[in-house]
Amino acid sequence: MFEIRCPYCGPRDEPEFKYGGQAHVAYPADPELLSDEEWARFLFVRDNSRGRYAERWNHAAGCRRWFNVIRDTGTHELVGSYRVGEQPEDAR
Amino acid sequence: MELDPNEHALHNAPFLWRTPEPKKSYEAIIVGGGLHGLATAYYLAKNHGMTDIAVVERGWLGNGNAVRNTTIIRSNYLWDESAAMYEHALKLWEGLADDLDYDVMFSQRGVLNLAHNLHDVRESIRRVEANRLNGVDAEWLDADAVKEFCPIVDISPEARYPVMGATLQRRGGIARHDAVVFALGRAADALGVDLIQGCEVTGIDVVDGRVAGLQTSKGPIAAGKVGLVAAGRTSLLTAMAGFDLPIQSHPLQALVSEVYEQVLNCVVMSNAVHVYVSQAHKGELVMGAGIDAFNSYAQRGGLHVIEEQMSAGMELFPQFSRARVMRTWGGIVDVCPDASPIVGLTPVENLYVNCGWGTGGFKATPGSGWVMAHTIATGEPHELNRPFSMTRFETGELIDEHGAAAVAH
């Protein structure tokens, strides 16, 4: 279990949050133009890297808002959190 | 002190396999010395006569998920493609100790999947019928029959999640996972396979769209064919070869209690309460549950997940409240969007992949190795793994075992 800093509520224990996977996955601008391969990529393929990872969390047992976290998938170190609309470099 | 295997052998404690240095090149290399990798190497040698092969393992044999699983074996999957694959594996399990001349302690003590509500009951009966149509043994038991088969399950109607019945696969059970490592490793080694431990792959050489060899911590090794069988770390390898897979790596935790007298005579799984329990031959209660939700390559998860699975276990077996936890641990599992594996060809010629078994790979070990060996040896998927190609995410022919496979993933 680790502690996550909700940008709205402050630091709370992990069980208060729900995980939302990779952050900054944009919906395709012209989905009707995508090939099956490109559509499959958008639907099913997410970054699965080791190291610093931008990911979405929801403060389900708190303010219930979505926000982003930078976390190291190799060590579970939490680098920082930032609000939707902000960029990874805003993480603190 | 450097251990000399031959010196050691003189003292009447022979090693199960050699510890060779890698040759300059091999006909085929398997990346990953887990159970599926060892099984692949064994069947490559045994079924296809390929003995100029190596298994490269970054750690040591019997270190990763091979010995972190909860040892459950069953084949009662809902969909035809999965039932065929897992039933093939189960049939191989039934002859594995004889085939490998090593007791893997496969105990067909039966697997119960409990139903706690009307929806569970309907889904369970549907799965029993689907299993029977696929030649997989399956029975539906009502609550009294569950109690008769497994006397310590609490079936009282006052329970928070009352037991309304269960499916039973009598041919399912458990095996001793360490023994499976020993048995497969020894057998592969005896057929001439080089098992190379402490050898981490750092690069995959691709020339004109075709695999040519590996860069490793023990130097470059040329290879005609390469099979990636690295479970939770497969994405890191495919990135070296220039393509992505739709898998995500998560921690999956399990625990054992202290050693007790034999009280639990079968495997009990519950989807709604979400725990699976069995008792090891030695006497520990073995429990597992779901993944930690986040991506991770650290082999550990949160204590609250352990807490949830223990409270679920307590719900079914109130007497376990006095059992004490001896050990908890985590392994990294590779989960596909449809909770089914990817076994087959890749965009790189002569490079094959076997991954995505997620939370349920142990049971598939011999079947997975069998079809992967066929795929590597012939360059074409076996009939059983053809549906498990990575292109199914483009065609939409998913094999959606989320929930359908008798356990939530």
Query: By C-alpha distance, which of B292, B83, B261 is closest to B171?
Result: B83
- Chosen for mutation from A45, A48, A73 (greatest number of chain B CBs closer than 10 Å) is A48
Considering the domain boundaries, does residue A52 fall inside one? yes
**Which residue matches tokens 């590597």?**
B376
| H or E segment to which residue B254 belongs | strand B248-259
Considering the domain boundaries, does residue A29 fall inside one? no
Residue B254 has pLDDT above 80, yes or no: yes
Q: Which of B304, B393, B395 sits opposite A1 (nearest CB)?
A: B304
Hey, are the CB atoms on A1 and B239 less than 8 Å from each other? no
What would the pLDDT profile of A13-34 be if each residue is shown by its tens digit?
999 999 999 999 999 999 999 9
| pLDDT for the residue numbered B11 | 52
Tell me the nearest-neighbour CA distance from B202 into chain A, angstroms. 14
Interface of A to B at Cβ within 8 Å reads 1-2, 14-15, 18-19, 21, 36-37, 39-41, 43-46, 48-50, 53, 55, 71, 73-76
Residue B2 has pLDDT above 80, yes or no: no
| Stated pTM of the model | 0.95
Question: Which chain A residue has its CA at the smallest distance from B251's CA?
Answer: A73
- CATH number of the domain bearing residue A49: 3.30.2270.10
Residue B399 has pLDDT above 50, yes or no: yes
Question: Which chain A residue has its CA at the smallest distance from B239's CA?
Answer: A49
Considering the domain boundaries, does residue A70 fall inside one? yes
Tell me the nearest-neighbour CA distance from A86 into chain B, angstroms. 21
| pLDDT for the residue numbered B277 | 95
Q: What angle do CA B179, B183, B189 make, to 5 degrees?
A: 145
pLDDT-above-70 percentage for chain B: 95
Considering the domain boundaries, does residue A9 fall inside one? yes
User: Is the Cβ–Cβ distance between B96 and B193 less than 8 Å?
Assistant: no
Interface of B to A at Cβ within 8 Å reads 235-236, 239, 244-249, 293-298, 300, 302-304, 337, 393-395
Residue B274 has pLDDT above 90, yes or no: no
| pLDDT for the residue numbered B273 | 82
Determine the Cα–Cα distance for residues B91 and B204; give it in Å rounded to an integer. 35
Residue B132, beta-bridge partner list: none
Tell me the nearest-neighbour CA distance from B247 into chain A, angstroms. 7
Residue B325, beta-bridge partner list: B257
Mean pLDDT computed over B93-106: 98
Residue B1 has pLDDT above 60, yes or no: no
Considering the domain boundaries, does residue A13 fall inside one? yes
DSSP, res B326: E
10 Å Cβ neighbour count for B76? 29
Tell me the nearest-neighbour CA distance from A4 into chain B, angstroms. 13
Identify all chain B residues contacting A53, using CB atoms and an 8 Å cutoff. Answer: 295
| pLDDT for the residue numbered B4 | 57
Mean pLDDT computed over A60-73: 98
Query: By C-alpha distance, which of B230, B232, B233, B204 is closest to B216?
Result: B204
Hey, are the CB atoms on B296 and A73 less than 8 Å from each other? yes
| pLDDT for the residue numbered B10 | 47
Considering the domain boundaries, does residue A55 fall inside one? yes
Residue A50 in 3-state DSSP? coil
Determine the Cα–Cα distance for residues B148 and A86; give it in Å rounded to an integer. 59
Provide the domain limits for residue A10: 3-24+44-90
Identify all chain A residues contacting B248, using CB atoms and an 8 Å cutoff. Answer: 21, 46, 48
Query: By C-alpha distance, which of A50, A55, A51 is closest to A21?
Result: A55
What would the pLDDT profile of B15-41 be if each residue is shown by its tens digit?
999 999 999 999 999 999 999 999 999
Question: Which chain B residue has its CA at the smallest distance from A20's CA?
Answer: B294
Identify all chain A residues contacting B297, using CB atoms and an 8 Å cutoff. Answer: 50, 73-74
User: Is the Cβ–Cβ distance between B21 and B218 less than 8 Å?
Assistant: yes
Residue A63 has pLDDT above 80, yes or no: yes
Determine the Cα–Cα distance for residues B179 and B100; give it in Å rounded to an integer. 11
| pLDDT for the residue numbered B118 | 94
Number of helices (H) and strands (E) in chain B: give both, helices first: 10, 18
Considering the domain boundaries, does residue A33 fall inside one? no
Determine the Cα–Cα distance for residues B173 and B311; give it in Å rounded to an integer. 23
In order of A5, B160, B314, B389, the CA distances from B319 in angstroms are 39, 16, 7, 45
Hey, are the CB atoms on B302 and A53 less than 8 Å from each other? no
Mean pLDDT computed over B169-192: 98
Tokens of B151: 């006397």
Q: What angle do CA B384, B385, B387 make, to 5 degrees?
A: 100
DSSP, res B93: H
Confidence class of residue B406 from pLDDT cuts 50, 70 and 90?
low
Hey, are the CB atoms on A74 and B298 less than 8 Å from each other? yes
Mean pLDDT computed over B209-220: 98
Number of domains making up chain A: 1
Q: Which of B236, B304, B393 sits opposite A50 (nearest CB)?
A: B236
How many contacts, defined by CB atoms under 8 Å, are there between A and B? Answer: 60
Considering the domain boundaries, does residue A37 fall inside one? no
Confidence class of residue B6 from pLDDT cuts 50, 70 and 90?
low
**Mean pLDDT in chain B?**
94
Query: By C-alpha distance, which of B174, B149, B153 is closest to B284?
Result: B174
Hey, are the CB atoms on A50 and B394 less than 8 Å from each other? no
A52 — phi, psi (to 5°)? -70, 130
Mean pLDDT computed over B316-343: 94
Please, what is the end-to-end C-alpha distance for chain B in angstroms? 45
Identify all chain A residues contacting B303, using CB atoms and an 8 Å cutoff. Answer: 1
Confidence class of residue B160 from pLDDT cuts 50, 70 and 90?
confident
User: Is the Cβ–Cβ distance between B111 and B71 less than 8 Å?
Assistant: no
